[in-house]
Amino acid sequence: MAIAQGFDYDLFVSYAHIDDSAPDSQPGWVTQFVHLLEPALRQRLGGMDTLKVFFASQAVGANFHLPEFLSAVKKSALFLGVASPSYATRSWTLQELEAFANCAPDLSRLFAIEYLPLSSNERYPAPLDDQVRLAFWKTGGAMRKPMALSPVFDAQEFSILVNSLACDIKEKLLQMRYSGDLKPLTTKPVENDETPRKKKTVLIAQTTDDVEEEADQLRRYLSQYGDEIEIRPRTGYPQGGEAFMAAVRQDLAQADLFVQLLGRRIGRIPPDLPPGYTQFQYNTAKSCGVEIMQWRHPELALDQITDPAYKSLATAETVISSGLEAFKGQVLSCVRKRVRAPGKIPVKSQSPTVFINADDSDLAIAREIERECLRRALPTFLPITGASAEANRKDLAENLTDCDVLLFIYGDTTQDWIRSQLRFFGKVKPRRDADPKLLAICSGPPSPKPDIRMTFPNAHTINCPQGWDMTAIRELLEELAE
């Protein structure tokens, strides 16, 4: 049995066999890719022996017939398409894609990488054309033509991409496995006359190409909370003024939250949609009274935006300038903080929000703690960087005031930095409604280091002088996540 309950296979790898061809009986490109992906998946799944990957190599595939492939597709939890010009024209691959799309309306189960890109005037068939495809190719040579990354000569970049994909696939597999286990619980009587929570609908706006990957990361992150959140659109919007406007309005009529990621580009402006796709979505969400959250990268150079309307949009008060990971947590927190019906008492309070206050020199350990928090569904924030000093200080004050859990990281940074941060917290602390549920100072290498010589009542101290030990931090997080 596969990890995802009710399926024979966890992952079906669909590819054009010509893309796996290699001289002198050497393993082909797709074979090498799968041989790296499968152990990366097993490592992230804790070595689960039940992982089932359907991959028909050249030799094995010769003994299979199309009906057998299509049967395996329908029995697979996830589908991974190795997109390429050959993939877009082969009958077998297109039938595999169609078979999966017909039996899996949840397109978050569809993953795609790109072995080689199509020409600018070509398109993949639906729904592959609307999916974010992880590019396993680069441009090279004097003519800057695309070429597939080599698992040998581009080993580091290749490995990073494989492991990134493995993380995303693992999250989806575990979501499918455990959400299946929890389904029967929805039929239990609810105590204290509490009605089951209605899912909140989050509309993630169509983005420009330069932030498409970030939008897909947000979509995959929120899809982990499928019991709480419904994501719109389910597939990409139709392009063209009338069809696009109708589809957006239809989704906004059901939306609780409108989320828009803003990049450097204004976005396309078709002849029958004068405001353009980006501005129209925002204007319509605003006119519908839907709550709005927007994001831009803190390093986005606002002075280089020449279009006045787009510059106004990128600097609106609903725009959050932060790292993407922090923004993802803010979106989840916003969904969970929405007002409930009067008189209703939640069975379980919302997850506490965690603010990890770290200097740039300690960002690596802060990211590791952030990942531990997110594994426990704890919305997590890091300080913003790259914005103005005033914006950074304002963001810091808001995080120190609003968070439920506050962690200070004292590693490679200086004694002056940690003391200044603690003093600033002392100044903003009177603005809080209550003390933090947890205040901890995490002290790590290098050792020895100057003593902070500051204390706060009920503050925890985690000392790791010889090297960061996550055990104590995990224990604290486990208590918070209960």
Judge whether 403 lies within some domain.
yes
Domain co-membership, 107 together with 161: yes
Q: Do residues 44 and 96 share a domain? A: yes
Helix (H, G, I), strand (E, B) or coil at 40: helix
Is residue 387 very low, low, confident or very high in pLDDT (cuts 50, 70, 90)?
low
- The verdict on 143 and 246 lying in the same domain is no
Q: Confidence band (pLDDT; 50, 70, 90) for 400?
A: very high
Residues 375, 417: one domain?
A: yes
Residue 464's CATH number? 3.40.50.2300
| Cα–Cα distance measured from residue 179 to residue 4, given in angstroms and rounded to the nearest whole number | 10
d(CA 31, CA 15): 10
**Torsion angle of alpha carbons 205, 271, 132, 387, nearest 10°?**
-50
Do 28 and 165 reside in the same domain of the chain? Answer: yes
Which tokens go with 352? 């506490």
pTM over 0.85: no
Do 329 and 444 lie in one domain? The reply is no
- Domain residue limits at 373: 354-481
Are 328 and 358 found together in one domain? no
- Residue range 175-216, pLDDT digits in tens: 777 654 333 333 333 344 444 447 889 999 999 888 888 888
Task: Mark whether 170 and 297 lie in a shared domain.
Answer: no
- In a shared domain, residues 330 and 361: no
What burial letters (b/e) apply to 367-391, b meaning 16+ CB within 10 Å? eebbebbbeebbbbbbbbeebeeee
Q: Look at the block and give the residue holding tokens 């082909």.
A: 28
In-domain check, residue 471: yes
Residue 266 domain-assigned? yes
Domain count, the chain: 3
**Residue 372 included in any domain:** yes
Name residue 417's beta-bridge partners.
Answer: none
Same domain, 329 and 361: no
Q: Tens digits of per-residue pLDDT, 39-59?
A: 999 888 876 667 899 998 754
Task: Give domain status of residue 342, yes or no.
Answer: no
Give the span between the Cα atoms of 435 and 476, in whole angstroms: 17
Specify whether the backbone of 245 is left (phi greater than 0), alpha (psi in -120 to 50) or beta.
Answer: alpha
Q: Name the helix (H) or strand (E) containing 230.
A: strand 229-232
CB atoms within 10 A of CB 91: 8
CA distance 361 to 381: 17
Respond yes or no on whether the N-terminal peptide bond of residue 274 is cis (omega within 30° of 0).
no
- Do 287 and 381 fall within a single domain? no
397 falls within a domain:
yes
pLDDT at 194: 43
Tell whether 182 is covered by a domain: no
Whether 2 maps to a domain, the answer reads no
Indicate whether 54 and 127 sit together in one domain. Answer: yes
pLDDT confidence tier of residue 415, bands split at 50, 70 and 90: very high
Q: How do beta strands 76-83 and 229-232 pair? A: unpaired
Task: Among 144, 175, 206, identify where a domain stops.
Answer: 175
Q: Tell how strand 380-381 and strand 405-410 pair up.
A: unpaired
